[in-house]
Amino acid sequence: MGLDARLAIWLLDEAARGGSPRIAATHDEIARHLGSAREAVSRMLKYFAREGLVRLSRGAVEIVDARRLRQLTA
């Protein structure tokens, strides 16, 4: 499974667990959860942001389009 799918699954799971589309986590924390490099996670999150799937802010990621994010997990 690619990083895009693993990241999408993790974001959706964290949003569901917290009951909010806003996930308080740094790129480094997300990378450690996924067992990936921070740089790779940052690149993928920036790609997701450009595609309108998430909104990035300091220390947080907010899911904007959960439906399209779910499509990456299939």
* pLDDT (tens digit per residue) in 65-74: 999 999 999 8
The predicted structure's pLDDT at residue 10: 98
The C-alpha atoms of residue 64 and residue 54 are separated, in whole angstroms, by 5
The domains located in the chain, with CATH, are 3-64 (1.10.10.10)
pLDDT tens-digit series, residues 27-49: 999 999 999 999 999 999 999 99
Adjacency order of strands within the sheet including 54-57: 22-23, 60-63, 54-57
